[in-house]
Amino acid sequence: MEERIHYRACNLCEAICGLEIRVRGDEILSIRGDEADPLSRGYICPKAVALKDIQQDPDRLRRPLRRTANGWEEIGWDAALDLAAERLVAIAQKYGSNSVAAYYGNPNVHNYGSMTHGSRALAPLKTRSRYSATSVDQLPHQLLTYWMYGHQLLVPIADIDRTDYFLVLGANPLASNGSLMTAPDFRGRIKALQQRGGRMVLLDPRRTETAEVADEHHFIRPGTDAAFLLGLLKTIFDENLARPGLLAEFADGIDTAAQAIRAFDLGALSAHCGIAADVIRRIAREFTAAPRAAAYGRMGVSVQRRGTLCQWLIQLLNIVSGNLDREGGMLLPMPAVDMIESPASRPGHFGAWKTRVRGLPEFAGELPVAALAEEITTPGEGQIRALFTSAGNPVLSTPNGAQLDRALKELEFMVSVDIYLNETTRHAHLILPPTPTLEHDHYDLVLHGFAVRNTARYSEPLFPKPEGALHDWEIFEGVGARIAQRLGVKHSPSPRPEQILDLGLRTGPYSGMRKHPLDLSLAKLKAQPSGIDLGPLQPSLPQRLYHPDKRIRCTPPELLQELHSFGEELGSAQGDSLSLIGRRHLRSNNSWLHNSQRLVKGPARHQLLMHPQDLAQRGLADGVRVRVRSRVGEVVVEVASSEDMMRGVVSLPHGWGHHYQDTRLSVAREHPGASNNDLTDETCLDVSGNAALNGVAVTVEAA
């Protein structure tokens, strides 16, 4: 049989690296980087090989499963979709539409069929009980950019290929290849920055893989990044270093922010975050003196008690230094399919409704997932009785996962769209497995909008859809149509994902309709399987702002209140507890990839990391089993001594905890680890409703 070469983008993380896959028949011979990809330029990470593992995984579900008194049994697609619709409608009619909830996991963003059709499954029910991984991830970014710039997706991206000074807080892009900053081959990009005389400065409670390539690394106490950022801004305002330039013409409230920030004491800020005042002043001066600088903060900054406050201060730092909308600073990408200018664009809204039990606010139609368990277990009108999940594993990825694990048992009905019987879907009454990545086409609708360079790439399916299989979008459409039929409401068929994509390209910024010479279309993308280079990021303000007056709101009232609240807690006692943070590894992504033998083999990567002096103080030795306790629970895990940890801080990676025996994850069960979300607290939230997964107070003792 003749060998063929297939080109596509890897969709296993935000880097969207280009791949060259050699195939003979249905056998994958090799997976390499595509040298012609204009964004990744031949780079790939070890995760790319997991595409082969997922395709061939004997544990992957191929047919719908229904749970019975005698265990799981396979059923046909028509029967499965009918059952899903019948039970969801019955529960909605009995208890009200909000009694049916939905949870969408992170993989949906990496799969454009989910992006185009995911909401259609429950659309006829009009339920407000919607949850997703957003509120354990990037919600502070989206809320902040909605408040400041008018749209939840107007997230400025670091132009790292042209910057001179890159300031990074709470991010490990050498492991993630960027997050809300699609930047494959981050190591190569930082090396190029340094070769042109630039610097990278990193703040993190752990000396990470990224710290090893940074020019400068500082330990910072978890959850105190706001103090460091306030110290930078106070120095800038006190020393008259602010140079907003042209931004001052359409940025409202800089003086108000300056007045509020000047009132803080630099000594108190320094003591709170653990970084010397002289270091804070020096970094502020370096940042403002650099010809082109960019400040970027990610997971460690977002998933903490003051996540939205931190993201606001980062935006202010880029604005007052004149680095927003500047080449080499922070710029807005111009993707080929512009989700912001789309007719279906949803800029966002905040607090339009709230959760039933705690009164937590929605954002853009989604409620904080930290409230999901209590909304299932607390009786009363609106109590969740049924749950629809898509590509999510919230038992491992949301705060107090053990509580949610117990709550899911109380549901009257649960249906999951997933290719695995995992820690969450084991509670389902029905599992609907879609085709895996290599059996459907792909386009990164969202991630191109966060990329450090404008590119576009469409991936054809590598293998044909097997007979009797359904793509995810077909599942969503099938459930939604059947629900609508039973309710007697209109539900017009939606165009196919590729039709929606083609329309987006033909009306986007590189279309003939916009008089662009490329006149981009799906046909033209198909003719260039390695992708098309659309050029570096370019200044686009104030035109791209989504507020009707095309102005930046620099002082949202909610953030001024957060600033006041932070000031009141400044200087509060740290206590004797250790502080727990998460951890990212290049060979892992949440809980997705732990059933790939080639990714989990080798040295264990799920231990608790702890500074040797903290171990000695507790009479513990490297490699022993320890019991880690928080307010909500405890786990037992092996501890590893590491001088890469800041004293008083311990680190446990996210996505492990594969000890359940009623899953079908044979490889993952051999490497169970412990779930750090059995320790995180569902009551500790940011003002946005995002979960504070970092800075959790824990104790550690011998098991």
- Do residue 519 and residue 551 come from a single domain? no
pLDDT confidence band for 497 (50 / 70 / 90): very high
Query: What tens digit of pLDDT does each residue of 203-245 get?
Result: 999 999 999 999 999 999 999 999 999 999 999 999 999 999 9
* Model pLDDT for residues 603-658, shown as the tens digit of each residue: 888 999 999 999 999 999 999 999 999 999 999 999 999 999 999 999 999 999 99
Asked if residue 88 and residue 34 are part of one domain, the reply reads no
- In CATH, what number is assigned to the domain containing residue 600? 2.40.40.20
Query: Where does a domain end: 536, 553, 581?
Result: 536
Coil, strand or helix at 390: strand
Q: What is the pLDDT of residue 576?
A: 79
Do 422 and 530 reside in the same domain of the chain?
A: yes
Full domain range(s) for residue 211: 156-331+545-566
Report the run of H or E that residue 311 belongs to, with start and end.
Answer: helix 307-320
Choose one of 56, 86, 101: the last residue of a domain.
Answer: 56
Q: What is the pLDDT of residue 343?
A: 80
595 and 499, same domain (yes or no): no
**Single pTM value for the model:** 0.97
DSSP output for 609-656? EE-HHHHHHTT--TT-EEEEE-SS-EEEEEEEE-TTBPTTEEE--SS-
pLDDT more than 90, % of the chain: 95
Average pLDDT, stretch 356-363? 98
Pairing relation of β-strands 386-390 and 361-363?
A: unpaired
Distance CA 20, CA 31 (A): 6
Q: Which amino acid is at 692?
A: A
Q: Is 557 exposed, middle or buried (0-12, 13-18, 19+ CB in 10 A)?
A: exposed
> For residue 359, is it within any domain?
no
DSSP lists the bridge partners of residue 702 as 626
Q: Is residue 80 part of a domain?
A: yes
Residue 573 has pLDDT above 70, yes or no: no
Question: What is the predicted pLDDT for the residue at 574?
Answer: 65
The pLDDT tens digits for 501-558 are: 999 999 999 999 999 999 999 999 999 999 999 999 999 999 999 999 999 999 999 9
In a domain, 347, yes or no: no
What is the reported pLDDT for 478? 98
pLDDT digits (tens, 9 = 90+) for 41-58: 999 999 998 899 999 999
Q: Are residues 73 and 215 in the same domain?
A: no
CA distance 109 to 126: 22
Domain identity same for 170 and 314 = yes
The CATH code of the domain that includes 550 is 3.40.228.10
Please tell me whether residues 514 and 405 are part of one structural domain. yes
Radius of gyration of the chain (CA): 25
User: Domain for residue 293, yes or no?
Assistant: yes
Non-local (6+) Cβ contacts of 680 within 8 A are 399, 400, 401, 580, 630, 632, 691, 692, 693, 696
| 80 shares a domain with 39 | no
3-state secondary structure of 6: strand
What are the tens digits of pLDDT across the range 260-296? 999 999 999 999 999 999 999 999 999 999 999 999 9
Residues 334-349, mean pLDDT to the nearest whole number: 92
- Give a yes or no: residue 413 inside a domain: yes
Amino acid 591: pLDDT:
84
| Same-domain check for residues 270 and 230 | yes
Q: Is residue 40 domain-shared with residue 84, that is, in the same domain?
A: no
Residues 6+ apart with CB under 8 A from 700: 578, 608, 610, 614, 618, 620, 626, 627, 628, 629, 639, 650
Q: 618 with 666, same domain?
A: yes
Residues 5-15, mean pLDDT to the nearest whole number? 96
Tokens for 30?
């090799």
Tokens of 352: 């339009």
Q: Are residues 403 and 503 in the same domain?
A: yes
The pLDDT of residue 328? 98
Report in angstroms the alpha-carbon separations of 67 from 80, 406, 425, 475.
11, 18, 11, 19
- Decide if 245 is inside a domain: yes
195 within a domain of the structure (yes/no)? yes
- Here the CATH number for the domain that contains residue 22 is 3.30.200.210
pLDDT digits (tens, 9 = 90+) for 74-87: 999 999 999 999 99
Number of compact structural domains in the chain: 4
Tokens standing for residue 580:
């727990």
> Residue 481 domain-assigned?
yes
Residue burial 25-54, b: 16+ Cβ < 10 Å; e: rest: eeebeebebbebbbbbbbbbbebbbbbbbb
The answer to whether 316 and 231 are in contact (CB under 8 A) is: no
Going by pLDDT thresholds of 50, 70 and 90, the confidence category of residue 345 is confident
Q: What is the CATH number of the domain that holds 477?
A: 3.40.50.740
Alpha carbon distances (Å) from 546 to 148, 550, 553: 9, 6, 11
